[in-house]
Amino acid sequence: MEDTLLIDAAERYVKGEMTPEERTYFEEIRKNNPELDQSVVEHIFFLNQLEKFGDTRNFKHNLNEVVSKLTDEGFISKAPLKGKARLVYMWNRSKRTIAVAASIAGIVSLVSILVFSTYNKSKEPNTQLLVQKVNETYAKQQQIEHKIDKLDAESKKKTEPVAPEKPKFEDARFRATGFLIDNVNNFIVTNAHVVKEAKHQLIVENSKGEQFLAEAAYVNSANDLAIIKIVDKEFKKLNPIPYTIRKTNAKLGEQIFMLGFPKQEIVYGEGYISAKNGFDMDTIYCQLSVSANEGNSGSPVINKNGELLGIITSRETNTEGVVFAIKSPNIYNAVEEVKKMKNYEAIKITAAPALKGADRVTQIEKVQDYVFMIKGN
Amino acid sequence: MEGLAREDKDAIERIYRDNYNMIQSMVLNNSGSTDDAADIFQETMIVLFEKSKSPDFELNCHLKTYIYSVSRRLWLKKLQQMQRFTRQPEDLEQTVPVEEEIEMHEKRQSDFSMMETAMSKIGEPCKSLLEAYYIQKKQMQQIAADFGYTNADNAKTQKYKCLVRLKKLFFAQYKNGQ
């Protein structure tokens, strides 16, 4: 059978224009000739594609008509896109991105922020449902726990009217990391972009899962550094900080480890300093080769002698394992700034070299109490 | 919904009027602009349309809930693509799982753009000829008259040649994309 005829036949077959005899005959040929059958299947598939294409195009056309009608009516607001207004508009639209990019001094296609770990975000759609369900159960569980708490509280009220009610924190909207630099006044260092996410409450959570209220003391978007203070009275002061904060820049090739909260529990990671400067030769940052994920923002980068070398901030999006950290001397500059502020004058880096010579497991054990999950909403 | 399947403009308008504000505020509250909202809603409408076309379609939740779920998912995807990891706030609205639809929609979108590219490459009069026959579903005689062919058979031969070219272009992309 010739190709033209075949296509013709296939089209008539699909449209149901064949007589029953023709149909049987056509099906018979297809059965006996796999190659021919293949081209028929292919052609039918193609016709379907063509049909869908037409449908979608028509629909889009109609849609656009409705949209422009509604826009004319003012029901749908479109930002004006002319002259100066357009610039302002573009600015407004991408303010956040630009701010972030500028703060890491790389405007091109590069940097992503590692703050937010979403609880139900998953790249594989097939795991998505499961996660959501877990969330649902979790939410239910929380509700139940909440109710039990309430009942408890009520019964306690009856028996002993004291029981001060602990403030209930609302659900967190993001998760990141921070670490203590002053165990007397409870100051924590993290990224500015983390603190900015907290519109209502800033909460820190220790490795035991206890949550404490904190407030932002210092937020510097230019170098993406922030210092926050735990203001919760429930927070018990910790022993002196086991790591020191290095005053000089990290050296190329130094082995490092980090602790952070890319998930609900603390996660350990290892790597090395791979370049002295950050993206586009930004001198505020150094480059690490380590695996960091969303939620790692604010993680401390520590070397084998217990010297803190940097703060994880961002990673390159199109290259695996290229991570940028703010160099540690910036912390000293920030602390100097905080000292000038009212109410925060007392800030003092209280660090002791207590990790030197210890094996890694011991080091982690000592450090993890000083690394906090930063949450908020 | 039925109106949508029939490509009824009034139906589209009604859905817009009933749901647009909800989606706009969802997008605006989650670091989007009014233009983003318009785009997202348009895409949602296309998903809805595709869905309404499939024979086994059944909406077992409120249309509003469905629209919200689809838009929300699309917007999340877009945010992810922009490499911002802002967490979607706790849902105030109820949502239903729409993963399958979104995946389907993406597939169809890519098919659509492949066909669009292929169509734009075959040139005239091929493009109009094929559109007239396969999309507008005109009769061959009518097409022959419109395009000035002396008879329907000539038009048919021409159509066949065009179709082979289009098919080639389309499948070349299709196989690359797979």
One digit per residue, pLDDT tens: chain A, 377 residues? 456 777 777 777 777 777 888 888 888 888 888 887 887 888 888 888 888 888 888 888 888 888 888 877 777 665 444 334 444 444 454 555 555 444 444 443 344 444 444 444 333 333 222 322 334 444 455 555 555 565 555 554 444 444 444 455 667 778 899 999 998 889 999 998 888 888 888 999 988 888 899 999 899 888 889 999 999 888 888 888 999 899 999 899 999 999 999 888 899 999 999 999 888 788 889 999 998 888 899 999 999 989 999 999 988 877 778 899 999 999 998 998 888 888 888 888 877 788 888 889 999 999 999 999 998 87
Domain boundary, last residue among B52, B74, B97? B97
What is the ipTM, given to two decimal places?
Answer: 0.74
B117 CA: distance to closest CA in chain A (Å): 11
- Of the pLDDT bands very low, low, confident and very high (cuts 50, 70, 90), residue B93 is low
**Is residue B104, in this structure, part of any structural domain at all?**
no
Q: What is the pLDDT of residue A10?
A: 77
Indicate whether A87 belongs to any domain.
yes
Q: How many Å apart are CA B72 and CA B91, to the nearest integer?
A: 10
With CA atoms as reference, the chain B residue closest to A130 would be B97
Same structural domain for residues A114 and A204?
no
Name the DSSP class of A304. Answer: T
CB B88 within 8 A of CB B72: yes
Tell me: the pLDDT tens digits for B37-63?
888 888 888 888 887 777 777 777 778
Which B positions 54-73 lie with beta carbon below 8 A of chain A? none
| CA gap A24, A22 in Å, rounded | 6
> pLDDT value at position A170?
64
Interface contact B38-A173, CB threshold 8 A: no
Most confident of A332-336, B32-36, B81-85, B149-153: A332-336
Give the whole-angstrom CA distance, residue A288 versus residue A324. 6
* CB-based contact, B106 to chain A, within 8 Å: no
Nearest beta carbon to residue A52 from set B45, B111, B119: B111
**What is the rounded distance in angstroms from the CA atom of residue B114 to the CA atom of residue A301?**
47
Last residue of a domain, one of B97, B130, B157: B97
**3-state class of A274 per DSSP?**
strand
Report CB contact under 8 Å: A46, B34.
no
> Which residues 45-84 on chain A approach chain B with CB closer than 8 angstroms?
46-47, 49-60, 62-63, 65-67, 69-70, 75-79
On whether both A243 and A347 belong to a single domain, the answer is yes
Are A229 and A86 contained in the same domain?
Answer: no
Q: What is the pLDDT of residues B109-161, one digit of tens each?
A: 888 888 888 888 787 778 888 888 887 777 777 777 777 777 777 777 888 88
Nearest CA in chain A to B85: A116
Average pLDDT value over all residues in chain B:
78
Strands A187-191 and A225-230: antiparallel
Which residue reads 């706790």 in tokens? Answer: B90
- Contact B50/A56, CB-based, under 8 Å? yes
Q: Are B28 and B79 contained in the same domain?
A: yes
- Angle at the Cα of A366 (from A361 to A372), degrees rounded to 5? 110
**Residue in the block written with tokens 């929609």:** B105
Sign, Cα dihedral of A71, A77, A81, A85? positive
C-alpha span between A200 and A48 (Å, rounded): 52
Q: Do A76 and B42 touch (CB under 8 A)?
A: no
Residues A95 and A189 placed together within one structural domain of the fold: no
Closest-CA distance of chain B to residue A85, Å: 14
Please indicate whether, in this complex, the C-beta atoms of A56 and B16 are within 8 angstroms of each other.
no
Report pTM.
0.43
In eight-state DSSP terms, residue A164 is: P
Yes or no: say if B15 and B70 are a contact pair by the CB < 8 Å rule.
Answer: no
Residue B151's CATH number: 1.10.10
Q: Would you call B76 an interface residue with chain A, using a CB distance cutoff of 8 Å?
A: yes
Facing A173 at nearest CB: one of B16, B87, B112: B87
With b for 16 or more beta-carbon neighbours within 10 A and e for fewer, the A117-126 pattern comes to bbbbbeeeee
